[in-house]
Amino acid sequence: MTSDAGPSDDAWVYVPSSALPDPETYTDLGAVIVDGETFGVRRRESDGSHHYNWISGPNPGYGFSVSGGGAPVGEEWHVRAIRDFLAGIDPATGYLSGP
């Protein structure tokens, strides 16, 4: 498996998945389950960005994106990105906490 840079090395953009561009420009990478939460993962080939739809989350269409890189990344990288996202979630609202 390739060595992956941590998600903290990348720029983060959190958006509802309904705000994402045309899904035809993406490759579906399947579902990743982290700490009991399920995320659908897609990769945009044009820039290597990854887009995560929080399938099991309390707010339909909510998720986040990580800006691209060069080569595809491994599952460990996705798990770190999702854990970073979940660490910022307010349990009362199911959305990211304010700064």
Shortest CA distance to 39 belongs to which of 27, 31, 51? Answer: 31
Question: Is 95 within a domain?
Answer: no
Find residue 38's DSSP bridge partners: 33
The predicted-structure confidence for 62-94, as pLDDT tens digits, reads as follows: 999 998 776 778 899 999 999 999 999 999 999
Question: Is 68 within a domain?
Answer: yes
Q: What is the reported pTM?
A: 0.74
Question: Is 9 within a domain?
Answer: no
CA gap 72, 87 in Å, rounded: 24
Question: Is 75 within a domain?
Answer: yes
Question: Is 93 within a domain?
Answer: no
Shortest CA distance to 31 belongs to which of 42, 23, 22, 20? Answer: 42
Domain count, the chain: 1
Choice among 2-6, 9-13, 63-67 with the minimum mean pLDDT: 2-6
Question: Is 4 within a domain?
Answer: no
Which domain covers residue 39, as residue numbers? 14-87
